[in-house]
Chains A and B, each alone.
Chain A
């Protein structure tokens, strides 16, 4: 099957400090050579801790940032360097849902106008009646009543606002939805509603999802495949079942082991990883994980491991066969 999204050797480097005054310029390699693809209708989750580059990767894929190197292909079109007039119609194919709906919904716009905006921008509907009908349809699709149209974002709870954000993202009938921490700010009982909604929408609309999250339990729940990022690189990418049954990279194992107990009887079972991720502006040489890895040996300190096959549908970047 041809992929809906292909990413090759994607890099994004930010200047953390300009040179001068005798100081060497420093660079943050937020995303450093990431290659991955998403099939139509598939959910690929990107999981990692703060500063691992997962959100920057999402922004590069959404063409909200220009990559320093590498390519982004959407449905056979190379979009990373495309001038905006050509990119415009393709943008309908790839839409985003962010963490905090309150900061991504204009508080002065009525829900109808928020959802109508992409319809008008992409010339997918015109005329009051046609627009109202489509907005009503989208609201029902995300489990809100049509009457919500006439109201303002502040009149809704956090979960309902996230539904509005999803309705707006679905308005141009995208084929890929990028969800960046889309359920992270929600209460447990609301989170479950939105996760179920995303799963239903994906099944019913055949959407592909790029689900960016720090929450590995949600990731296990929602994904078909998982990419684990650490300090700008993918350290493991695998089918969900393989990754959770036989995590091949020591960092993946540490992430899984750090999740709090499911019940008090499993208390204290978490295997704790020492230290914290190093400063991304001051990356360790060799394997980026070697400063925290329980299995570090000489080679890890000098040579960066590359992704290699570790099982069917499973790649990990580690010198060892753990």
Chain B
């Protein structure tokens, strides 16, 4: 059996703070295969973005990272900055929420696209320019020659995100990490960017690690889903199972709390299902289940013993003492 494209095992990330180490990610494991999209879903503070940054070694020095991050079987944790630089772009492309903060405001789009290409591929002059144009065309930019001469502030948010995707995919990396790629965009533009990511993935067969809080984006793109709560996976399953048969009460809560078009019949108003309270601070729950304080099915045992992530059915894992009982209730 060949090694998975990306294999994250028992990832732990903690940040040094005045009060000692604050754990943010607490033993997270997942695998990403070529051509597939794995979504990591969670709310603010769940540790989802920290997970993404730890894979590419972009966490600040105050972060303590443990576990294994294997790319094609090769350990990434502990790599020297030089090797990590080589990896970013060539092996892993990155797209973040706000392209305005990831693009350099004083360089033209052309400078930045060319830099991304030339960093990992020997190319100069007319060939480099032609490749840059081609990359912009591939992300649906109609006037690539003009855009190459423009600065980031001259582009709309959607165009900037297209440029980011072009840069991320410049070297045809096997992995694309997209952290909230459409959160800052208007809904009509979001639909365009989601379609673009899907189309680029079909072309290059890359694995996409999608980090998002938005279940709508998950429904559009993901094959497999990890639901993160307070730094731990509470459920992992195929996307259809997550939406049709959510097993963890938090997953069910998220699905019930969301608003979708056409959910209430004309003339009526559906009350949204609430998850009471708010998520605990990082490392705030010392024992028991981190979700126990907000869970409608809480059981005395939940306050004492933290449920481990255990197989539940063929292709699902759930961390809940009552998972089976609740799933069939």
Interface residues of A (CB under 8 A from B): 49-50, 157-160, 187-193, 195-196, 199, 214-218, 220-221, 241, 244-245, 254-268, 270, 272-274, 276-277
Partner of B259, one of A195, A241, A266: A195
B186 touches A187 (CB 8 A): no
B1 to chain A, nearest CB (A): 28
B261 touches A192 (CB 8 A): no
B15: interface (CB < 8 Å)? no
- Interface flags for B44-79 (1: CB within 8 Å of A; 0: not) read 100000000000000000000000000000000000
Counting chain B CB atoms within 10 Å of each CB, the highest count among A49, A244, A270 belongs to A270
B274 touches A260 (CB 8 A): no
- 20 A-B pairs with CB atoms under 8 Å apart are A50-B157, A158-B278, A159-B278, A187-B279, A188-B43, A188-B254, A192-B275, A199-B271, A215-B259, A221-B270, A221-B272, A241-B267, A259-B260, A260-B194, A262-B262, A264-B239, A267-B220, A272-B191, A273-B188, A276-B159
Question: Which 7 pairs across A and B sit closest by C-beta, in order of nearness?
Answer: A260-B216, A192-B257, A189-B275, A49-B186, A192-B272, A187-B43, A217-B259
Q: Give the distance in Å from the alpha carbon of A175 to the alpha carbon of B233 in the complex.
A: 45
Q: Give the distance in Å from the alpha carbon of A255 to the alpha carbon of B186 in the complex.
A: 10
A189 touches B43 (CB 8 A): yes
Known contacts A192-B272, A266-B219, A258 near B191 by CB under 8 Å: yes
Partner of B274, one of A193, A257, A267: A193
Q: Give the distance in Å from the alpha carbon of A49 to the alpha carbon of B157 in the complex.
A: 12
Partner of B187, one of A157, A258, A265: A258
- The closest CB in chain B to the CB of A270 belongs to B191
A-B contact count (CB 8 A): 146
B190: interface (CB < 8 Å)? yes
B253 touches A189 (CB 8 A): yes
B135 to chain A, nearest CB (A): 20
A260 touches B214 (CB 8 A): yes
B213 touches A187 (CB 8 A): yes
- The closest CB in chain B to the CB of A224 belongs to B269
Residues of A contacting B217 with CB < 8 Å? 260
B204: interface (CB < 8 Å)? no
- The closest CB in chain B to the CB of A219 belongs to B259
B237 to chain A, nearest CB (A): 12
Partner of A196, one of B44, B157, B274: B274
- Interface flags for B213-229 (1: CB within 8 Å of A; 0: not) read 11111011010000000
B188 touches A263 (CB 8 A): no
Partner of A221, one of B194, B256, B269, B276: B269
- The closest CB in chain A to the CB of B239 belongs to A264
